[in-house]
């Protein structure tokens, strides 16, 4: 019973921590709307900031391509180019 109470307390603490998270504010620029509308639909935009030290323009292009081809992200070719360009310009290494 004590173990169950401890687990419930940990879950409650984790939920409270998530509720306090601040929204991700990406850099303003051409393509931001496409990034928020396409990328943010499937995952947190935190991934952009977390990966930015490691990805060049080619790396961001590969990431966008992977999201479309491997994970089935419904992103048009035109949006994919805009997204990759935005990420490379604002978060490329």
Long-range contacts of 34-37 (CB under 8 A, 24+ apart): 34/79, 34/82, 34/83, 34/86, 35/83, 35/86, 35/87
12-47 pLDDT, tens per residue?
766 555 555 678 899 999 999 999 999 999 999 999
pTM above 0.85, yes or no: no
With 60 as the cut, is the pLDDT of residue 49 above it? Answer: yes
- Assign domain 25-91 to its CATH architecture: Orthogonal Bundle (1.10)
The domain spans of the chain are: 25-91
């Amino acid at each position: 019973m004590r173990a169950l109470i401890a687990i419930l307390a940990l879950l409650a603490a984790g939920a409270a921590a998530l509720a306090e998270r601040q929204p991700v504010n990406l850099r303003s620029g051409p393509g931001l709307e496409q990034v928020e509308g396409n990328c943010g639909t499937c995952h947190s935009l935190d991934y952009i900031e977390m990966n930015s030290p490691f990805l060049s323009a080619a790396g961001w292009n590969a990431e966008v391509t992977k999201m479309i081809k491997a994970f089935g992200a419904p992103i048009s070719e035109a949006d994919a180019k805009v997204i990759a360009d935005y990420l490379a310009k604002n978060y490329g290494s």
